[in-house]
Structure 1
Amino acid sequence: MSQQGVTYRNATHKDIKVIREIANKTWFVTYEPILGKEQPQYMFDLIYSEEALAEQMNNGQTFVLQLIDNQVVSFASYSEKDDKNKIYKLNKLYLNPDFQGGGFGRKILEEVENQLTKLGVKTLDLNVNRFNKARFFYEKVGFKMLLEEDIPIGPYWMNDYVMRKELV
């Protein structure tokens, strides 16, 4: 599919249902092969409940929606990580699997980077599971490995790479 008809807008609380729908389409196919069934379900319930998404928005996480012909096909979110050093964190980037491979992931990331550059942000960090193939996408678009991080989440662990990109 071409990039024509692609628009972006920041999400509001009214968009929580569509964010959950896209997350649901991508989350389990991404994480069950890596983590089994229980941990992805636990994390999805924790992070993507309507209440959790509303709380993330209320606490300063900006959600960006990518639309093709007015249909939301992906979302990304970011928030401030370190005000003093102008470092932000890309918290989420999920694209409906039906649209993967068409350059749409790169385009929504460019939209996030444009918004952050306008805010004077110099650096964008993200966490990605060490076994998630998305790591290679992030490397392709300019993120570099910073460190490994193991984060407890309930009875489980997230085994991540922290990656960083300097915004120009």
Structure 2
Amino acid sequence: MGATMVSERFLVTGAFGCIGAWTVKRLVAEGVPVVTYDLPGEPTRLQLIMEPEALAKVTVLPGDITDEAAFERAVVDNGITGVIHLAALQVPFVRANPVLGARVNMVGTAVVLETIRKHAAQVSGLVYASSIAVYGPASIYPPGPLAHDAPLAPATLYGVTKVANEE
């Protein structure tokens, strides 16, 4: 990251999760303005890994990525120029509640993508996290590193939602 990013303002979905929290910490350390967008609650993980002075620089917005109007307001009202989309329900949660899992993981991503499309003059970038789950179980592949162009073979609904978002 460099000085050119300072003019950017990023919104991080799923910022209270593991990858999201470390992403927020790194952006703040680089001097990049950050807005978090996650379900209402305490940003406990952020509080554990960030000094209070650094955390004070973060704008914490409670919100549900499946709420299109609220997400759009968060992007527009906060002058967001880039979205780092990390919000998703993981395998155990999707397995326990498949309908909610599909809604959050696919409809939520559709809301993010549509908001960016509608405000393309303002939002110039998107980072989306994939998952090894799109490739299915390791047992179906030869030993060694998995090539990025390996065939997609998701074995869980979570993996299917990630593939759907990427297609």
The bucket for the TM-score relative to the shorter chain is: 0.3 to 0.5
TM-score normalised over the length of structure 2: 0.33
Whichever structure has more helix as a proportion of its residues is 2
Larger % of strand: which? Answer: 1
Q: TM-score, normalised by structure 1?
A: 0.33
Structure 1 or 2, whichever has the larger Rg, is: 2
